[in-house]
Amino acid sequence: MKVFISVDIEGITGVTDWSETELGNHDYKQFAEQMTKETVAACEGAIAMGAKEIFIKDAHDSARNIDITKLPRCAKLSRGWTSSPDSMVAGLDETFDAAIFIGYHSAAGTDGSPLAHTMNSGNNYMMVNGEKASEFTINSYLAANYGVPVVFLSGDKALCDTAKKFNKGIETVAVKEGSAGATISINPDYACDLIKEGVKNGLKHINECKIAIPEKFEVEINYKEHKNARRASFFPGVTQTGSHTIKYTANNVKDFSVTRMFIL
pLDDT of 27-86, one tens digit each?
A: 999 999 999 999 999 999 999 999 999 999 999 999 999 999 999 999 999 999 999 999
Q: Do residues 44 and 163 share a domain? A: yes
- What's the confidence (pLDDT) of residue 71? 99
Instruction: Report whether 20 belongs to an annotated binding site.
Output: no
Same structural domain, 231 and 182? no
pLDDT confidence of residue 210: 98
C-alpha to C-alpha distance for 175 and 172, rounded to whole angstroms: 9
- Number of compact structural domains in the chain: 2
In a shared domain, residues 15 and 115: yes
Of the residues 209, 232, 254, which one is the last residue of a structural domain? 209
- My answer on whether 89 and 205 are in the same domain is yes
Given this model, what pLDDT does residue 105 score?
99
The pLDDT of residue 32: 99
Q: Is there a single domain that holds both residue 222 and residue 203?
A: no
CATH number at 88 reads 3.40.50.10780
Q: Are residues 222 and 92 in the same domain?
A: no
Long-range contacts at 157-165 (CB < 8 A, ≥ 24 apart)? 157/112, 158/106, 158/110, 158/111, 158/112, 158/113, 159/11, 159/104, 159/105, 159/106, 159/107, 159/112, 159/113, 159/134, 162/106, 162/107, 162/112, 162/134, 162/136, 163/136
pLDDT < 50 stretches in the chain: none
Q: Are residues 30 and 96 in the same domain?
A: yes
Amino acid 24: pLDDT = 94
Is 86 annotated to bind a ligand? Reply is: no
**How does DSSP classify residue 254?**
H
Out of 209, 236, 255, pick the residue that ends a domain. Answer: 209
Do 87 and 184 share a domain, yes or no?
yes
Based on the fold, state whether residues 148 and 239 are members of the same structural domain.
Answer: no
Quote the percentage of the chain above a pLDDT of 90: 100
Tell me the catalytic residues: 117
**pTM of the model as a whole:** 0.98
- pLDDT at site 8: 99
Supply the pLDDT for residue 22: 97
Q: Are residues 155 and 238 in the same domain?
A: no
Instruction: Please report the pLDDT score of residue 176 as a whole number.
Output: 99
Q: Does 105 show up as a binding residue in the annotation?
A: yes
Q: 236 and 112, same structural domain?
A: no
Q: Residue 74's domain spans which residues? A: 2-209
Does 218 appear as a known binding residue?
Answer: no
259 & 158 share domain: no
